Amino acid sequence: MSDDGQIKTVLWDIDGTLLVTGGAGAVAWQRAFEERWGVEANIEEHTQAGMTDPEIAAIIFREVIGREGSDEERASAIAGYLSHLEDAVNESSGYRVMPGIEEVLPRLAEQGVLQGIVTGNIEAAAQIKLARGNLNRYFQFGGYGSDSSDRTEVTRKALERGEGVLGSALDLNAAISVGDTPRDVSAGHGAGIRVVGVATGAYSVDQQREAGADWPIADVTNGFPV
């Protein structure tokens, strides 16, 4: 923690942490691969929570189409995904913002806490998902799957951009990330910050504890450290 004991920077994961889209991402991927390659791509059968969008595209090529996609093909797949994502998000009956988020984000903003995004989504996809819940307004910077397929590097990039917004070096002892998967925990620790592990996704509080989360909690309504 910082010298004065305060947390001054919070990085937020999106899917399963800030919100769920009700499967809109999977729908968009399916539509993209059906449209471009005529295959049924059920990403839930082939991917795990916490993967980056570029990882997902590569896995679908390898496991569904049966070969490695070229750079151009993976770029085309991601473009197709983005072209369908906004409609899929807006159509989703299962879209919801997670408990306590709509109260915590403005409170932290009022306290002067620097807030950013750290996510496996490429930046354009992140903005589409946040927009329906009107959450974009709370985040001044971010690290995205378009920066790297490695979640630790994505977290480091987010911290670097936070320094650009602040205009000075961030105190890593005063920075935390919030995520719902063990990948989020290892990425935060790999980047030198502590992690809140919320059980609002596929992993329980006990699993977050086992993964090494510094604060394993059910959701941000109780036990959130800021």
Does residue 162 sit within a domain? yes
Q: CATH no. for residue 166?
A: 3.40.50.1000
Q: CATH no. for residue 62?
A: 1.10.150
Identify the bridge partners of residue 19 per DSSP, sorted by sequence position: 15, 97
Which amino acid would we find at residue 7? I
Does residue 54 sit within a domain? yes
64 and 129 inside one domain: no
Residue 203: its pLDDT value, please?
96
Residue 152 contacts residue 141 (beta carbons within 8 Å): no
From residue 65, give the alpha-carbon distance in Å to each of 24, 32, 36, 46, 69: 21, 13, 12, 12, 9
Q: Collapsing DSSP states into helix, strand and coil, what is residue 39? A: coil
Residue 87: its pLDDT value, please?
98
133 and 100 inside one domain: yes
Does residue 4 sit within a domain? no
104 and 189 inside one domain: yes
Does residue 3 sit within a domain? no
Give the residue carrying structure tokens 């004065």.
4
186 and 209 inside one domain: yes
pTM above 0.85, yes or no: yes
Distance separating alpha carbons of residues 223 and 167, to the nearest angstrom: 31
Mind listing the pLDDT tens digit of every residue in the chain (226 residues)?
455 679 999 999 999 999 999 999 999 999 999 999 999 888 777 777 778 888 888 888 988 898 998 999 999 999 999 999 999 999 999 999 999 999 999 999 999 999 999 999 999 999 999 999 999 999 999 999 999 989 999 999 999 999 999 999 999 999 999 999 999 999 999 999 999 999 999 999 999 999 999 999 999 999 999 9
104 and 174 inside one domain: yes
Does residue 137 sit within a domain? yes
Does residue 184 sit within a domain? yes
118 and 164 inside one domain: yes
Does residue 113 sit within a domain? yes
170 and 138 inside one domain: yes
Residue 196 contacts residue 23 (beta carbons within 8 Å): no
Which residue, of 34, 60, 91, is where some domain finishes?
Answer: 91
Q: Which domain holds residue 65?
A: 24-91
Distance separating alpha carbons of residues 198 and 192, to the nearest angstrom: 19
Distance separating alpha carbons of residues 34 and 123, to the nearest angstrom: 23
59 and 149 inside one domain: no
Structure tokens at 14: 């999106």
Distance separating alpha carbons of residues 80 and 207, to the nearest angstrom: 35
Q: Within 13 A of 34's CA, how many CA atoms are on the CB side? A: 11
Does residue 164 sit within a domain? yes
Residue 115: its pLDDT value, please?
98
Apex CA 169: angle with CA 4 and CA 14, to 5°?
Answer: 85
How many domains does the chain contain in total? 2
Residue 3: its pLDDT value, please?
54
